[in-house]
Amino acid sequence: MTEQAGPELQHRTVLLQEAVDALAIQGERTGGVYVDGTFGRGGHSRLILERLGPTGRLVAFDKDPQAIATAERIDDPRFEIVHDSFATMAQALQERGIARVDGILMDLGISSPQVDDAARGFSFRFDGPLDMRMDTTRGISAAQWLATETEQTIGKVIRDYGEERFAFQIAKAIAARRAIEPISGTRQLAEIVAHAVKTREKGKDPATRTFQAIRIYINKELEELEVGLAAALEKLSPQGRLAVISFHSLEDRIVKRFLAAKASAPQPDRRLPIRAVDLPRPDIRLIDRIKPSDEEVAANPRARSAIMRVAERLSATENAS
């Protein structure tokens, strides 16, 4: 789905139909409560609202002030937007008197407007201030972080969050440049990285992994994902669905391991006298793993790395079976 608010806000929602279909909003469930963990520009939220009945409810989350401004234009009493990360889901739902929800969608990607807006500093394709914050009202920018962090920590972040083999050479180059002048622009950082990286992956800019690493670290994306997954499992009703769309291996690895662990019961010591009825049970059932179609990738190349994993919360009866 592409927003029509102007060229600067155009965004094509990845796995739009597939993600909302995965929530299984039908029958009695159309009157349930749902969560859109990342509103973005509202593609998933709007389709969920189309599927909901008059008594249904949708609570969406986003850290981006521009996304919040877009969400506030939705005039629907069934919809509410929360200006915060989905990591705050458990507390936010509790504050609204919501004990359980029927479906949770977590889209972990950044939106096209964020990438394409030079002022946000997410991309080296445009020259702009080196910000990279999802929420521009909180925290420190990437430029501030690069100005104050140690060379060793910068290298570790680029290695761990960008899976960059030249991470410490890049960190050394950053430290050398900042001793001469502040590193405040996206093109400036991209040029520093380009000179430090000895070989380049075919078809990929040498700065890609460094920009990804700094963005993930600045926004605490992986830490918030782990907290958000735990909150989602806590809040899901029996037979409630969880759908998570990830866009790179670090995210998908966390999602895959979390779901796999919750779909298998821990094995007790066989020497202990435990009755079958008292054996630990899995919390969820794995439902599907979905990637964008060739047609979607052709229409939206940014969808090519997306993977959606879907799981369903088991009921007490299913756990005992």
- pLDDT at 40 (0 to 100): 94
Tell whether residue 44 is among the known ligand binding residues.
yes
More confident residue, 271 or 264: 264
Residue written as token pair 């807006």: 117
What are the residue boundaries of the structural domains of the chain, listed by start? 7-112+221-320, 136-218
pLDDT at site 199: 77
Helix axes 208-218, 186-196, angle to 10 degrees: 130
pLDDT of residue 265: 67
User: Distance (Å, rounded) from C-alpha 59 to C-alpha 276?
Assistant: 39
> What is the Rg, in whole angstroms, of the alpha carbon atoms belonging to the chain?
21
Q: Is 42 annotated as a binding residue?
A: yes
| Torsion of Cα atoms, 192 then 206 then 185 then 42, to 10° | -160
Architecture of domain 136-218: Orthogonal Bundle (1.10)
State the Cα–Cα distance between residues 280 and 272, nearest whole angstrom.
13
> Is 107 annotated for ligand binding?
yes
Q: Is 43 annotated as a binding residue?
A: yes
Count Cα atoms within 13 angstroms, Cβ side, for 98.
25
What is the mean predicted confidence (pLDDT) over 93-102?
98
* Residue 267 clears pLDDT 70, i.e. is over it: no
The token pair at 303 is 């969808």
Distance CA 122, CA 143 (A): 12
User: Is 86 annotated as belonging to a binding site?
Assistant: yes
Q: Above 50 in pLDDT, residue 6?
A: no
Q: Which residues pair with 34 in a beta bridge?
A: 58, 103
Say if residue 114 carries a ligand binding annotation: yes
The whole-number pLDDT of residue 8 equals 36
Confidence tier at 1 by pLDDT (50, 70, 90): very low
* H/E segment holding residue 148: helix 142-148
Q: Do the domains 7-112+221-320 and 136-218 sit in the same CATH topology, yes or no?
A: no
pLDDT digits (tens, 9 = 90+) for 212-249: 999 999 999 999 999 999 999 999 999 999 999 999 99
CA-to-CA distance for 247 and 138, rounded, in angstroms?
24
The stretch 57-61 carries a mean pLDDT of 98
Report the C-alpha gap between 117 and 264 in whole angstroms.
43
Q: What is the pLDDT of residue 191?
A: 96
User: What pLDDT is recorded for position 119?
Assistant: 86
The answer to the question of whether 211 is labelled as a binding residue is no
Structure token pair of residue 189: 């950082």
Fold (CATH) for 7-112+221-320: Rossmann fold (3.40.50)
Q: What percent of the chain has pLDDT over 70?
A: 90
**Predicted confidence band of residue 126 (pLDDT cuts 50, 70, 90):** confident
80: exposed, middle or buried (Cβ count in 10 Å: 0-12, 13-18, 19+): middle
- Amino acid 278: pLDDT: 52
The pLDDT confidence band at residue 154, using thresholds 50, 70 and 90, is very high
Residue 305 amino acid letter:
S
pTM exceeds 0.75: yes
User: pLDDT per residue over 169-220, tens digit each?
Assistant: 999 999 999 999 999 999 999 999 999 997 777 778 899 999 999 999 999 9
